[in-house]
Amino acid sequence: MERRLHEASLSGSVHALNTLMEEDELILDRVSLTCLDETPLHLAALRGHLDFTRALLSRKPKLATELDSVGRTPLHLASAEGHSQIVRELLQVSVDVCRIRDQDGRTPLHLASVKGRVDIIRELIQAQPGSTHDVLDQGETVLHLCVKHNRLDALKLLVESVQKDFLKSQDNSGNTILHLASALKQKETVKYLLSMDGVKEHVNTKNVNGFTALDVLEQCPRDLKGIEIQEVLQQAGGRRVSLVARSPQISSCSQAWQLVWNKYLKMEDHWLEVARGYLIMAATLTATVAFQAGINPPVSVWQELLTRKHYQEAGTNPPESVWQELLTKKHYQEAGTSIFFATVYSIDYYILFLRGNTISLVASLIIIFLMISGFPLKNKFSQWLLTMAMCTALTFMALTYLVALNLLTPDVDAQSDKRLWGVMHDIYQSSIYTWIAALVLLFQTARIMKWPESVKRMWRPKTHQ
């Protein structure tokens, strides 16, 4: 008889249940006396058999409060599986079952939150609003469970149903839901939480280890998502615990100045990490240009071996002294060598071109190496080295360009064409002066940017020992 009832519960056959009840009217009363792990109502709630559930509840409503072998009610199973209609039927029998805990301390609302059953959560909250404040043995709230299992929609519904102060609840480790979302790198969850005043006001809450949400994020392996979350936290006022501890109370005048500083002048500490990809791209482009200029210099290279016959056919037979020089250094005319290097009057400029281009290439490769090698970039030496490499690459790239312009400028004899050299002279002068002015301006700007920090220290009240 019990086996037939078990099979009827699994199949959800109301006809089979009616047949069994006709044969033995007390069959449901004897269910609680058996050693079965679950009642027929547990099986019906788990399988989602709505009609069978109604039939059981109409004959024996007390089944709604029966526990299985792990302390779960039928409402626990229906909530976890998302059977909303069965949940409504069970709640019509008793709303107190919402607060019953299984052997792990979980209520039906906890299981629905873990699974992200938004419809079930809404039904349970309407039936028992106080169930949102039930806490697990580890101090976790339903909000913690939603974040832990990445159920953002369920979290939004629960946040709308609780008081503002509940958003700053901490588990036994002192972690708020913002701590968890940061540690799990849930960017959308972090952004949503920080849009709530109850969370943003306590963005620097510390756990039992003394870590803020930003500190917890720093403990995780760094990746692009972590950097994006770090930026979101810092924009909301998130700080590391060392900075929170050092932050004194300052005057209103200093606060106003600090707002201006943070909004317009301050460079975030993580700017180098954020700009890593752009720096690699710029350095790679610079290295590519320098490499291409080195193997394919201005006006390209000789395509074939030159002889005196080539000069004669071109009508540019050089003087004997020049021809002897060419014979002495005949490799200048070999196929694949630079055309400019074959011109004895341009050798010095060509060597200067090669040196500047090579230095620019090496400096760019140093930048790429620093960026991809995992070399720590937050210490002062690394930032100084990176800055010098970037300035060197750009400076010698500009120098190479100016030398190339000189190499490409033809010799002129006509008086009217001498204005070309005047233009070249102006280009040289303006380029050099502009570059020097830019470096000086950069240096002075760096000094000015340090000045507000000293002003803030001046306005900062002294603490009494």
Q: What is the pLDDT of residues 130-140, one digit of tens each?
A: 999 999 989 99
Structural domain contains residue 142: no
The verdict on 288 and 241 lying in the same domain is: no
DSSP classification of residue 337: S
Give me the DSSP letters along 187-212: HHHHHHHHTSHHHHTTTT---TTS--
The verdict on 293 and 355 lying in the same domain is: yes
pLDDT of residue 276: 67
pLDDT of residue 332: 45
pLDDT of residue 263: 46
pLDDT of residue 459: 43
What is the CATH number for 174?
Answer: 1.25.40.20
Per-residue pLDDT tens over the stretch 358-386: 888 888 888 888 777 766 666 667 777 77
How far apart are alpha carbons 130 and 148 in whole angstroms? 21
Structural domain contains residue 33: yes
The verdict on 21 and 126 lying in the same domain is: yes
How far apart are alpha carbons 232 and 229 in whole angstroms? 5
Range of the domain at 220: 163-247
Q: For residue 448, what are the contacts with CB-CB under 8 A and spacing of at least 6?
A: none
Residue with tokens 């710029």: 282
How far apart are alpha carbons 361 and 284 in whole angstroms? 9
Give me the DSSP letters along 395-451: HHHHHHHHHHHHHHSPP--SGGGGHHHHHHHHHHHHHHHHHHHHHHHHHHHHHHHHH
pLDDT of residue 366: 84
How far apart are alpha carbons 331 and 328 in whole angstroms? 9
Structural domain contains residue 313: no
Structural domain contains residue 149: no
The verdict on 35 and 169 lying in the same domain is: no
Residues of the chain below pLDDT 70: 1, 32-36, 242-276, 297-347, 374-380, 407-429, 431, 433, 435, 439, 442-465
The verdict on 181 and 293 lying in the same domain is: no
How far apart are alpha carbons 303 and 368 in whole angstroms? 34
How far apart are alpha carbons 183 and 197 in whole angstroms? 21
Mean pLDDT of the chain: 77
The verdict on 290 and 420 lying in the same domain is: yes
pTM exceeds 0.75 for this model: no
**Which among 131, 155, 179 is the end of a domain?**
131
Q: For residue 256, what are the contacts with CB-CB under 8 A and spacing of at least 6?
A: none
**Which among 131, 153, 178 is the end of a domain?**
131
The verdict on 287 and 187 lying in the same domain is: no
The verdict on 118 and 171 lying in the same domain is: no
pLDDT of residue 275: 62
CA atoms within 13 A on the CB side of 206: 11
Structural domain total, the chain = 3
Structural domain contains residue 261: no
